[in-house]
A and B are shown apart, each in its own frame.
Chain A
């Protein structure tokens, strides 16, 4: 099964999750996702997701001037974003548990 298809549904949650403890700029967020194991996440998908979450009022942004290079736009979770992360996290966990049980029942190896 193609991971990119799965990613579409959960990229919002993944981006919210990697911003939970630390603010980050675009490339930084992409790196965190890849380091977490989502190697197939596309560059454009991350920026598109950031824009959509921002438009939905879940993120706030601020610009940090950089001495060695371009200024960077940092994203940070606001209260609505944290709320959304909690709810989406729960939904995912319940969904994943259901899927695990479904596969377990039929003797599929992890």
Chain B
């Protein structure tokens, strides 16, 4: 046998390709028995399929002519698409009339028609944004070309003028030009939404992104203990903290006492655990806590003594 399975497959494919304009079900019907027929032909004699049956295209032409198969005017899936489009258009017209009174007009279209020049303006701006975005790979709310806002301004004016001009002209177009116009408009809206979303995202990160997170806001939960140093860099024991209303500020928890096995008693004096102080008793000026020693000449004493007098009396302000 000189004919391979691949040759049969190729022949079938070419016949089917030559019948591609027929409705799918007709084409399937016509070529359904072809593979086994070709297998029988192949089994019977020598020579290639094309030698014995002629070119697949000729085979297809004969099959089509004898079967009297007519090509469908449009492929079936386009029929369904067109059907869905008509249905959607009908629904839209209905909505147009129903929602019109809400806006104080007979139809929504009546309400929207005078607003068209405004849309042309916005359309020009969006188009300029997209052009700037395509050139620069990024865009702000004002189009820039290579970071240059004056060429960006020219681009903006040009795009708006073109959009206005097109707006006046496009009212009368029909057929495929109209469809192209609609597709382009949809694409413009989609792209500009993406570009604007990007702009918005960057605006967000620009305002906050460059600051490091500190323990200033919503971070009190990370504070375990509070250490207060006096001017000489001595640790103040049993310090009390109050806010502007005289309400004691409670921060952290006495973790060292909890570790020791004792039940921690909640006090409002800091530090809970003086032995865990981040800065030890300063022996020399060089290791004094820098932020707390306002003058370099200050020489702290070697031992930090607890001073109860360091705790201020709460005073309520009206």
Contact = CB atoms under 8 A, between A and B. Distances in A.
A52 B62 CA distance: 13
Nearest to A11: B66
Contacts of A42: 62
Interface stretch (B27-35, B109-117, B301-309): B27-35
B33 A48 contact: no
Given A42-B62, A44-B63, A51 B53 contact: no
Q: Is the interface of A mostly helix, strand, loop or mixed?
A: helix
A45 interface: yes
Q: Is the interface of B mostly helix, strand, loop or mixed?
A: helix
A43 interface: yes
A96 B199 CA distance: 86
Nearest to B68: A52
Contact of A73 (B33, B39, B64, B68): B33
B309 to A, nearest CB: 106
Contacts of A25: 33
A57 to B, nearest CB: 14
B68 A44 contact: no
Contacts of A51: 29-30, 67, 69
A37 B64 CA distance: 24
A69 B34 CA distance: 14
Contacts of A55: 67
Q: Which of A49, A51, A72, A73 has the most CB of B within 10 A?
A: A51
A28 B231 CA distance: 113
A70 B66 contact: no
Given A44-B59, A47-B33, A47-B66, 11 more contacts: A27-B36, A43-B53, A43-B59, A45-B62, A45-B66, A47-B63, A48-B67, A49-B67, A51-B29, A52-B66, A69-B39
A52 to B, nearest CB: 5
Interface of A: 8, 11, 25-27, 42-45, 47-49, 51-52, 55, 69-70, 72-73
Contacts of B259: none
Contacts of B40: 27
Contacts of B30: 47-48, 51
Nearest to B30: A51
A83 B69 CA distance: 24
B241 interface: no
Q: Which of B29, B35, B40, B41 has the most CB of A within 10 A?
A: B40
A14 B149 CA distance: 83
A34 to B, nearest CB: 11
A6 B67 CA distance: 17
Contact of A70 (B35, B59, B64): B35
B65 interface: yes
B60 interface: yes
The 10 A-B pairs with the shortest beta carbon distances in the complex, nearest first, are A48-B66, A48-B67, A44-B62, A44-B63, A70-B36, A27-B40, A51-B67, A48-B63, A44-B59, A45-B66
Nearest to B62: A44
A11 B67 CA distance: 12
A44 B60 contact: yes
A49 B184 CA distance: 49
Contacts of A45: 62-63, 66
Interface in B14-71: 29-30, 32-37, 39-41, 53, 59-60, 62-69
B67 A52 contact: yes
A48 to B, nearest CB: 3
Contacts of B32: 73
A48 B36 contact: no
